[in-house]
């Protein structure tokens, strides 16, 4: 299982404390508004944390997308960007970085991860096609279904076990993959999708061994293998921590092996390189040609793809920095600290700790709330109310209805508390621990939610909900009773 945190830096006390390997040079002031204002903000935002304004948010743990701290090297690189519609030198530098880090010859720039999903889905999916994958991501699923495709999720049973010690819950079930291909027919499977650090099941990685097995099946049947590399750095870090064969490997080696096993690698640069933008890479000229025309159509010219040249420079440097284990380890170590401490305090969490964030098991914490009343959404709203911390619902609210308009309840109801790279300090993490432990002790006071405005696509972004009773007021009263006039 996982090597100890900070295995290279031990504390005299013997405590396992995540140590920041960076210093703070630029700061941004935060606001912690009183709980009465937080309740108003929730009402204004339809009890949907996406609709909160940052002026009402203390710690923004909504996502790591576009919120990772940038390095001094990234910021300085932005100053020598080459403004040109075509043939920009900034793009040449990005292409070089992509070749060096992701080991693929061709790069198509796109404005963010879902733009890559749009292009891949348009290029390859025809009505009725099936895309086997370890697990869906919201935007990937939306683009696949938008183009007439369907998905099948092929995880092993263990992945659905919230409390587990399995090191690679993101592994594709290779036996089921082969069965699925035989049943569906190769002609109806344009590609297999593997998502690094599988986001919606708690940021859980897959192993290189599993990816090799999937590659063998892809070869056997002549199907393309697509890697969603948005969280590849963290997946590679956990491979080094957890997979025997790679315990002495470098990040560059593991990343190179993983991208080498895929025909197409796409990513959200908002995550992978702590910048903005996204990309699609391949070594196959035929694939490049099949996708190329869609970039000027939807994104921008082939040497900027809808991304500002300054961000392209930051992206290039960010890609190289992804190879730095002492940078990548920061967020997973904070997450592991959060998860292990919360588990010791009796809070039900997804284990083992994954990447991207700590995931609270709302199905257990709010087991008195039926799935029809969105326990993870309710927990996200309640946690914001009592702490000013904004997390993200990753449960049934984030699911989309089926073709007949029926709810498709999520396999897991999670509150995700994202830990963007190098953003929070340890005392802020202690505050998260304190408030979440209090909420867990007072969980019976949390009630359910109902939709009052429900968009048909990606409803979790814009939807509005309302509490089914006056539970927020009661929770606020208990907070005041216990914390007095504390913020
Ligand atoms: C695994 C994964 N794939 C794709 C995306 C979509 O990327 P973007 O938000 O840049 O469109 C995300 C975003 O969070 C993601 O986590």
* Angstrom distance (rounded) from CA 294 to CA 300: 9
What lies within 8 Å, CB to CB, of 266 at 6+ separation is 113, 116, 117, 120, 226, 227, 228, 229, 278, 279, 280, 281
**Across residues 137-143, what is the average pLDDT?**
95
Give the list of residues 6+ apart from residue 30 with CB closer than 8 angstroms, or none. Answer: 58, 59
**Given pLDDT bands bounded at 50, 70 and 90, which one contains residue 8?**
confident
Between the CA of 460 and the centroid of ligand 1 the distance, in Å, is: 15
Residue 459's Cβ-side half-sphere holds a number of Cα atoms within 13 Å equal to 23
Q: How far is the CA of 268 from the centre of ligand 1 (A)?
A: 5
Per-residue pLDDT tens for 373-390?
999 999 999 999 999 999
Indicate which residue's Cα is closest to atom 8 of ligand 1: 113
**What φ, ψ does residue 363 adopt, rounded to 5°?**
-60, -30
Question: In this model, does residue 2 exceed pLDDT 50?
Answer: no
- In three-state secondary structure terms, 418 is strand
Residues 6+ apart with CB under 8 A from 260: 103
Cα–ligand 1 centroid distance for 353 (angstroms):
20
pLDDT-derived band at 9 (thresholds 50, 70, 90) equals confident
Asked if residue 6 has pLDDT above 90, the reply is no
Phi-psi category of residue 143: left, alpha or beta, with phi > 0 → left and psi -120 to 50 → alpha: alpha
Kindly state the helix (H) or strand (E) to which residue 150 belongs, with its residue range.
strand 150-153
Instruction: Specify the pLDDT at position 179.
Output: 98
323-341: burial string, b at 16+ Cβ within 10 Å, e else: bebebbbbbbbbbbbbbbb
CA 206 – CA 350 distance, rounded (Å)? 16
Q: Which 3 state secondary structure label does DSSP give 132?
A: strand
In order, the DSSP letters of 442-471 are TGGG---EEEEE--SSSHHHH-EEEESSSH
Is the pLDDT at 7 greater than 90? The verdict is no
Residue 411 has φ and ψ, to the nearest 5°, of -65, -30
Closest CA to 209 of 170, 160, 180: 170
Q: Identify the three-state secondary structure at position 40.
A: helix
Q: Which atom of ligand 1 is nearest to the CA of 269?
A: 10
Q: Which residues line ligand 1 (CB under 6 A)?
A: 65, 112-114, 137, 139, 195, 199, 228, 230-231, 268, 270-271, 278
Longest dimension (CA), the chain: 66
CA angle 92, 96, 100 (to 5 degrees): 170
Question: How remote is the CA of residue 368 from the centroid of ligand 1, in Å?
Answer: 32
Q: What is the pLDDT of residue 1?
A: 41
Mutate to test the pocket of ligand 1, among 116, 120, 202, 270 (most ligand atoms within 8 A of CB): 270
Least confident of 116-130, 283-297, 399-413: 399-413
Cβ atoms of 97 and 319 closer than 8 Å: yes
Per-residue pLDDT of 164-176, as tens digits, reads 999 999 999 999 9
The percentage of the chain sitting over the pLDDT mark of 90, rounded to a whole number, equals: 96
Sorted by sequence, the CB contacts under 8 Å of residue 364 that are 6+ apart come out as: 162, 348
Query: What pLDDT score was predicted for residue 4?
Result: 42
Task: Name the residue at shortest CA distance from atom 14 of ligand 1.
Answer: 65
Q: What is the mean pLDDT of the chain?
A: 96
- pTM, rounded to two decimals: 0.95
Main-chain dihedrals φ then ψ at residue 169, nearest 5 degrees = -70, -15
Which H or E element spans position 228? Answer: strand 224-228
Q: How far apart are CA 336 and CA 237, in angstroms?
A: 13
Q: Pick the closest to residue 272 from 221, 235, 313 (CA basis).
A: 235
Give kind and range of the element (H or E) at residue 254.
helix 251-260
Tokens of 219: 């070869």
Residues with a known catalytic role:
85, 137-138, 228, 271, 394, 460
Q: pLDDT tens digits for 310-352?
A: 999 999 999 999 999 999 999 999 999 999 999 999 999 999 9
**Contact present, 308 and 290 (Cβ < 8 Å):** no
Count CB neighbours of 3 within 10 A: 11
Token code pair at residue 164: 């587990």
pLDDT digits (tens, 9 = 90+) for 228-272: 999 999 999 999 999 999 999 999 999 999 999 999 999 999 999
Give yes or no for residue 196 having a pLDDT over 70: yes
In degrees and rounded to multiples of 5, residue 309 shows phi and psi of -65, -30
42-76 pLDDT per residue, tens: 999 999 999 999 999 999 999 999 999 999 999 99
Phi, psi of 227 (to 5 degrees): -105, 120
Q: Please name the helix (run of DSSP H) or strand (run of DSSP E) that holds residue 263, with its range, or none.
A: none
- Phi (first) and psi of residue 407, to 5 degrees: -60, 140
Question: How far apart, in whole angstroms, are the C-alpha atoms of residue 291 and residue 188?
Answer: 19
Contact between residue 417 and residue 49 where contact means Cβ atoms under 8 Å apart:
no
């Amino acid at each position: 299982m996982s090597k100890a945190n900070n295995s290279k830096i031990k504390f005299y006390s013997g405590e396992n404390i995540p140590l920041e390997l960076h210093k703070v040079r630029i700061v941004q002031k935060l606001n912690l508004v009183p709980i009465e204002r937080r309740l108003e903000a929730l009402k204004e935002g339809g009890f949907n944390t996406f609709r909160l304004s940052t002026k009402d948010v203390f710690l923004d743990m909504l996502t790591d997308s576009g919120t990772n701290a940038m390095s001094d090297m990234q910021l300085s690189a932005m100053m020598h960007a080459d403004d040109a519609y075509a043939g920009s030198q900034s793009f040449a530098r990005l292409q070089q970085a992509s070749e060096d880090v992701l080991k693929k010859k061709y790069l198509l720039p796109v404005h963010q991860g879902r733009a890559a999903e749009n292009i891949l889905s348009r290029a390859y999916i025809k009505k009725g096609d099936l895309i086997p994958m370890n697990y869906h991501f919201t935007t990937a699923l939306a683009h696949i279904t938008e183009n007439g495709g369907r998905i099948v999720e092929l995880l092993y049973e263990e992945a659905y076990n919230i409390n587990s010690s399995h090191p690679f819950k993101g592994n594709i079930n290779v036996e089921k993959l082969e069965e699925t291909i035989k049943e569906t027919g190769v002609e109806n499977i344009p590609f297999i999708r593997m998502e690094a650090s599988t986001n919606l099941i708690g940021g859980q990685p897959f192993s290189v061994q599993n990816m090799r097995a999937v590659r063998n099946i892809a070869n056997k049947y002549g199907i393309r293998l697509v890697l969603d590399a948005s969280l590849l750095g963290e997946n590679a870090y956990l491979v080094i921590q957890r997979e025997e064969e790679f315990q002495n490997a470098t990040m560059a080696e593991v990343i190179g092996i993983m991208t080498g096993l895929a025909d197409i690698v796409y990513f959200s640069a908002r995550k992978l390189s702590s910048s903005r933008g996204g990309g699609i890479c391949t070594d196959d000229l035929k694939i490049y040609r099949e996708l190329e025309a869609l970039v000027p159509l939807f994104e921008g010219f082939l040497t900027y793809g809808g991304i500002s040249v300054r961000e392209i420079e930051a992206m290039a440097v960010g890609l190289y920095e992804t190879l730095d284990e002492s940078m990548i380890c920061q967020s997973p170590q904070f997450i592991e600290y959060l998860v292990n401490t919360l588990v010791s305090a009796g809070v039900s969490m997804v284990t083992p700790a994954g990447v991207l964030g700590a995931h609270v098991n709302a199905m257990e914490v709010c087991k008195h709330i039926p799935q029809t009343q969105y326990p993870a959404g309710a927990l996200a709203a309640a946690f914001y109310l009592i702490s000013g911390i904004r997390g993200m619902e990753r449960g049934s609210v984030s699911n989309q209805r089926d073709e007949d308009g029926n709810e498709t309840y999520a396999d897991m109801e999670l509150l995700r508390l994202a830990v963007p790279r190098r953003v929070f300090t340890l005392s802020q993490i202690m505050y998260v621990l304190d408030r979440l432990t209090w909420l867990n002790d007072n969980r019976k006071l949390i009630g359910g939610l109902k939709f009052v405005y429900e968009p048909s696509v990606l409803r979790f972004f814009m939807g509005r909900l309302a509490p089914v009773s006056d539970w927020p007021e009661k929770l606020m009263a208990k907070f005041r009773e216990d914390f007095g006039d504390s913020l």
